[in-house]
Structure 1
Amino acid sequence: MKFAGLIGTLGVSTLLGACANIGAPGSAQSPSDSSAAFKLIATCAPLPKTANRCEVNTAPAGGGFTLFGDILVDEGVWKNGGVSVNAAGVIEAVGCIAPPSATKRIDCPNQIVTPGLINAHDHLKYNQTPPGGQDNPRYAYCNDPANVYQDAECANHRYNRRNEWRKGLNGKKMVVAPMDDKETTVLWNELRHIVAGTTTVAGSGGAKGLVRNPDVLALLEGLKVVDNKVVAYHTFPLGDTSDVDGRTDTCAYPKVATPGVLQNRVFLPHVGEGIDAYAHNEVACLSGRGSNPASPGVDLIASNSTFIHGVAVDKADVGFMKAKDMSVVWSPRSNLSLYGNTLPVTLYGREGVNIALATDWTPSGSINLLHEMQCAAQFNSTYLDNYFSGEKLWRMVTANAAKALGFSDQIGAIKVGLLADLTVVAPGGEPSPYLSIIKAEEKDIVLVLRAGAPLYGDSATIAALDQGCETMGDICGSRKSVCLAETGRTFAELKTHNANHYALALCRQDALQPSCTPARYRQYNGVASSRDKDGDGVPDLLDNCPAIFNPARPMDDNKQVDVCGKG
């Protein structure tokens, strides 16, 4: 295409001169709330009015298309910008461009075009299970933070480490979540993510034809790897599936991962999921820093290591991780619903560790990334003093997640040479496109493309793309269609098989969805007061970071960690 490489060759400053009604970089709205700030690169020529949110204008055959809307790139926002995609599904130009004459034109005026969302951690074979797991009649009662704080029964629904809820240790309520690896179940669980605009999921498995599964060689859906090296997803990197007593003064676990795991594209283990010394010992032992010189563990901290959860860390741990340029995956809803706490995310942020956002699984986490972003945003505004901007939260499900999974050379950004994984989102009237994405509901997902091919979207738009897709009916007040040809299944077939499984979408914030309000029995209920404005149970006069939620934890001898840089 004649625009190939344009933005990479000319740069932003040159392209600014090619656009109409240009605003200077940085001249966009900058409200006092930094979460709403964004950078406008340029306003391009007005787009034609359309009858639908996106309208396809047919053109001569030849492959490729140009999609127009408000394009989110690393540098900022192209208002009325375009993304030209070739027949191979690769981005050839971005910015104020005209479409090559032999390609389709898709106009989405005022709609937001983001890289397809990336979920860096899930369990796709378990997401048919509803919140709380099976056989949990007191889940709804103990999902209420007020009850968690005041009722001793609900203390048994908040845990200190992972194996307490896995096995019902120490009198705790076991979370029952059986695996179902049938293809029709896994496809339904993947479709749940497609409905939310997600195109890649590291989910410990997968099925053919929908999202990219970066941890399964046969299910990469076009991602390129060298020597068959994919993401090495380890749920039990210490081998403690049955030996669940834990360790605090040794790294002699049943089967500790070896340095060979770093030969993979990325090492993606569950580490430090909890708030006690047992959970903290996992971090020490997988960074070669165990307290026992005779059993120090193995140093698996590297630039291609990404720790899932990483809740049980202190400042020294995070500094060590930053020095090795590793990443961490944050799942706030799941952490808060299980432990009443989450990773010290501002500490990770201050140290400069790359942070991705992910759902974990439906028994304790979010149904999809839209709801996970809303949980993170709520926690950020209520308990972190708006430490993260809307743009930074958005990057946690795009560029940061791509880096965490080792595929930032192919996905995670709208950039020349990358795959055209694109999601179009309705704006919703928010002051920034990032907040529109964060606050989006399932009905606001207009179009989802993987390498330029449609997967899902508004029925009128999908029909115009003429890819042999099928209608799904109403999804949260919007008529949608899905493209399942690659799966060899039909939507009716999937719907029938999963009739008794967890819903495909939540059309509102459901009270039964795991709570994002932190609470632990007789310690804190997450309610701010004039004496404790961050709701962490430590009075402001005694709190080392009174604006940032950082309760005392068992692993720290019930003292606070400095999460705000006060020294």
Structure 2
Amino acid sequence: MSPGADAPDTGRFALRGRIVTLDPADTVLDDGVLYVSGTLIEAVLPATAPAPPGFAGVTPLDTRGSVYPGLIELHNHLPYDVLPLWQVPKRYGNRSQWGGSGNPAYRTLVTGPMKVLGQDPRLMPAVVRYVEAKALVNGTTTSQGIALFSNAGARRMYRGVVRNVEQTDTPDLPEAASRIADVEAKDAEKFLARLKQPHRLLLHLAEGTDAAARAHFQALQFQPGKWAITENLVGIHCTGLNADDFTVFAAHGGSMVWSPLSNLLLYGKTADIAAAKEAGVLMGLGSDWSVSGSKGLLGELKAARLASTAAGSVFSDRELVAMVTRDAARILRWESALGSLGAGMRADLVVVAGTHGDPYTSLVDARDEDIRLVAVDGVARYGSGRLMRALAPGENLEPVPGTAGEHVLRLDDGTADTIVAGLSLGEATERLAGALADLPALAATPVPPITASPGGGVRWQLALDEIEPTGAELRPRLPLLSASGETHPTGPGIGALTAAPAELEPVALDALTASDDPVFLATLAGEGNLPADYAGALARLLT
């Protein structure tokens, strides 16, 4: 997903409220005005200061809230965010133990439903529409992308209204990558050569807590003291790393994406964040996916605070907010354009109700109902009816079921991807809910394979890397060194099916927000791998 360069011209507007800039000085204007011209911020000034040139006739819109930079998510398997939270049956040691054929529930809850949805020409666009709306409703303005491939052999990223780290189409936001060729994933020196290309690479690293998980980090050392790590490697999860590993990782410039809720749900433990911080590892946040994580960054901030407190209050609320704004931008090399509020920066914004109390605590504490506005490139995309009607008069604003108050979405865009053109959130929701409830019947009449057919036209489907190999790996599987120094294979790929598949069962569509989802809260309460009182504390923060 990535907003187009020729997205709607917003003209000029101004927002008044508490402006939390997240600039290097942590400037906060208790009563300020943020001036926007087109896609860029023109100025951030005290409310008592004269308006900048060109804004003499623009009356600032009182947000009655606090204005933050848009939230940047560095890890999410977005298509899977239509699926509900999994009641994890036991504690696992690494990713391979729960994600493949050895776990029938994975087929029932994940691979089976997503194959049905991702291949169906009527349901696939509904997935794309729904998960993008879900990102906006949870305050996210940037996330990872949705990959598509066609019967003609083409592969591309879905282009929507939420910014996509993998396809930005603009030089001030260097594109990151999240997939590497299989050959690069099997040879540390080739992997190092890949890292020397001018792109950040976001990849799962040491996902799990046992020796097998850590071994995938150790495999990055291809000669004594020589590591396939550079500043371009952004390790997702890093739960298997110890203090010495983080020292090595930081010394070579590596950064990290932390997904605490998903880690705790699956492994009963998250990354050693105290050691990572001590080593100087730069960190961002990612909610991972709804199967074993938060619904979005607004929830993951709360999960992160609880995990930080349990580890000895490692991070302040200011540091947590920085992880989803300026630090995330630094990881991507976007800090000159996004991640803070100032003149010349892109106008990606989140407004949260209220102007009292600690400005960073206010964002971490915010419930989904507290979001008043989400804007991407100066275009108001989601928020309260009052602010949205003022900023998008005459536009098609769609009510959002399940959100408190009169919240609306603006998903129309002249540059939107044709696969979702004209599809409303309401229609997407209806299609998905019906399909997931009728999964057994739909699975019994599968869509024909997506193969090239002369004169048959182009048909797109979701590229679901979690289900079957696509020739480009999300997780580097470098050869592991045995005691003799020889390498050995690491087993089947993610989602490889070697046993008879389980029958599909009806699945409930995951709700957009936590406060409107009693099923999510009940499932969370029953999760056995979470620390004592963690689920209850998180539920209280979410609702």
Q: Would you say 1:285 and 2:219 are equivalent positions?
A: yes
Name the CA shift for 1:426/1:475 in 2 (closer, same or farther; >3 Å).
Answer: farther
Q: Would you say 1:189 and 2:131 are equivalent positions?
A: yes
Alignment partner of 1:342: what SS? coil
User: Given residue 160 of structure 2, which amino acid in structure 1 is its aligned partner?
Assistant: G
Instruction: Give the corresponding residue for 1:77.
Output: 28
The runs of at least 4 consecutive aligned structure 1 residues that moved more than 6 Å come to 235-240, 516-519
Equivalent pair of 1:468/1:483 in contact (CA under 8 Å): yes
Q: Would you say 1:126 and 2:80 are equivalent positions?
A: yes
- CA distances 1:46-81 after superposition (whole Å, capped 9, x unpaired): xxxxxxxxxxxxxxx992222211111222311111
Q: For 1:286 and 1:237, how far apart are their aligned partners in 2?
A: 15
Give the TM-score taking structure 2 as reference length.
0.70
Name the CA shift for 1:225/1:102 in 2 (closer, same or farther; >3 Å).
Answer: same
Name the CA shift for 1:103/1:491 in 2 (closer, same or farther; >3 Å).
Answer: farther
Q: Would you say 1:211 and 2:159 are equivalent positions?
A: no
Q: For 1:506 and 1:327, how far apart are their aligned partners in 2?
A: 29
Name the CA shift for 1:167/1:316 in 2 (closer, same or farther; >3 Å).
Answer: same
Equivalent pair of 2:65/2:355 in contact (CA under 8 Å): no
Instruction: Give the corresponding residue for 1:265.
Output: 199
Instruction: Give the corresponding residue for 2:363.
Output: 437
Residue 164 (structure 1) aligned to one of 74, 79, 97: 97
- CA distances 1:507-534 after superposition (whole Å, capped 9, x unpaired): 16857357599966xxxx7349xxxxxx
Name the CA shift for 1:399/1:376 in 2 (closer, same or farther; >3 Å).
Answer: same
Q: For 1:302 and 1:159, how far apart are their aligned partners in 2?
A: 30
Residue 531 (structure 2) aligned to one of 526, 529, 533: 526
Instruction: Give the corresponding residue for 2:254.
Output: 326
Equivalent pairs counted in the alignment come to 416
Residue 336 (structure 1) aligned to one of 254, 259, 264: 264
Q: For 1:123 and 1:474, how far apart are their aligned partners in 2?
A: 23
Give the superposition deviation at 1:237: 7.2
Q: For 1:393 and 1:237, how far apart are their aligned partners in 2?
A: 35
Give the superposition deviation at 1:204: 5.2
User: Given residue 526 of structure 1, which amino acid in structure 2 is its aligned partner?
Assistant: P
Give the superposition deviation at 1:131: 1.0
Equivalent pair of 1:164/1:172 in contact (CA under 8 Å): no
Q: For 1:239 and 1:336, how far apart are their aligned partners in 2?
A: 30
Higher helix share: 2
Alignment partner of 1:167: what SS? coil
Q: For 1:105 and 1:197, how far apart are their aligned partners in 2?
A: 25
Q: For 1:121 and 1:329, how far apart are their aligned partners in 2?
A: 7
Instruction: Give the corresponding residue for 1:389.
Output: 316
Gaps of 5+ in 2: 1-8, 119-123, 148-156, 437-508, 534-543
Give the superposition deviation at 1:506: 1.9
Q: Would you say 1:349 and 2:301 are equivalent positions?
A: no
Equivalent pair of 1:201/1:212 in contact (CA under 8 Å): yes
User: Given residue 138 of structure 2, which amino acid in structure 1 is its aligned partner?
Assistant: A
Name the CA shift for 1:207/1:445 in 2 (closer, same or farther; >3 Å).
Answer: farther
Q: Would you say 1:380 and 2:328 are equivalent positions?
A: no
Give the TM-score taking structure 1 as reference length.
0.67
Instruction: Give the corresponding residue for 2:501.
Output: none
Equivalent pair of 1:272/1:313 in contact (CA under 8 Å): yes
- CA distances 1:368-387 after superposition (whole Å, capped 9, x unpaired): 11111111112222x12322
Give the superposition deviation at 1:412: 1.0
Equivalent pair of 1:454/1:467 in contact (CA under 8 Å): no
Instruction: Give the corresponding residue for 2:449.
Output: none
Instruction: Give the corresponding residue for 2:397.
Output: 470
Give the superposition deviation at 1:186: 1.7
Q: For 1:288 and 1:519, how far apart are their aligned partners in 2?
A: 38
Q: For 2:282 and 2:133, how far apart are their aligned partners in 1?
A: 27
Name the CA shift for 1:223/1:80 in 2 (closer, same or farther; >3 Å).
Answer: farther
Equivalent pair of 1:355/1:400 in contact (CA under 8 Å): yes
Instruction: Give the corresponding residue for 1:317.
Output: 245
Give the superposition deviation at 1:301: 1.6
User: Given residue 300 of structure 1, which amino acid in structure 2 is its aligned partner?
Assistant: A
Q: Would you say 1:224 and 2:152 are equivalent positions?
A: no
Alignment partner of 1:409: what SS? coil
Q: For 2:237 and 2:525, how far apart are their aligned partners in 1?
A: 16
Instruction: Give the corresponding residue for 1:98.
Output: 50
- CA distances 1:375-403 after superposition (whole Å, capped 9, x unpaired): 1112222x123221110111111111112
Give the superposition deviation at 1:207: 3.2
Name the CA shift for 1:287/1:124 in 2 (closer, same or farther; >3 Å).
Answer: farther
Alignment partner of 2:406: what SS? strand
Give the superposition deviation at 1:436: 1.4
Give the superposition deviation at 1:214: 1.3
- CA distances 1:533-561 after superposition (whole Å, capped 9, x unpaired): xxxxxxxxxxxxxxxxxxxxxxxxxxxxx
Gaps of 5+ in 1: 1-60, 133-138, 143-153, 241-250, 529-567
Of structures 1 and 2, the one with the larger relative CO (CA 8 A, separation 6+) is: 2
Name the CA shift for 1:498/1:191 in 2 (closer, same or farther; >3 Å).
Answer: same
Instruction: Give the corresponding residue for 1:24.
Output: none
User: Given residue 35 of structure 2, which amino acid in structure 1 is its aligned partner?
Assistant: S
Aligned CA RMSD, in angstroms, stands at: 3.0
Residue 141 (structure 2) aligned to one of 186, 199, 202: 199
Give the superposition deviation at 1:425: 0.5
Equivalent pair of 2:66/2:351 in contact (CA under 8 Å): yes
User: Given residue 189 of structure 1, which amino acid in structure 2 is its aligned partner?
Assistant: V
Equivalent pair of 1:366/1:372 in contact (CA under 8 Å): yes
User: Given residue 92 of structure 1, which amino acid in structure 2 is its aligned partner?
Assistant: E
Q: For 2:326 and 2:250, how far apart are their aligned partners in 1?
A: 18
Residue 275 (structure 1) aligned to one of 209, 222, 230: 209
Equivalent pair of 2:133/2:425 in contact (CA under 8 Å): no
Equivalent pair of 1:112/1:427 in contact (CA under 8 Å): yes
User: Given residue 231 of structure 1, which amino acid in structure 2 is its aligned partner?
Assistant: A
Q: Would you say 1:505 and 2:433 are equivalent positions?
A: no
Residue identity (%): 28
Alignment partner of 2:177: what SS? strand
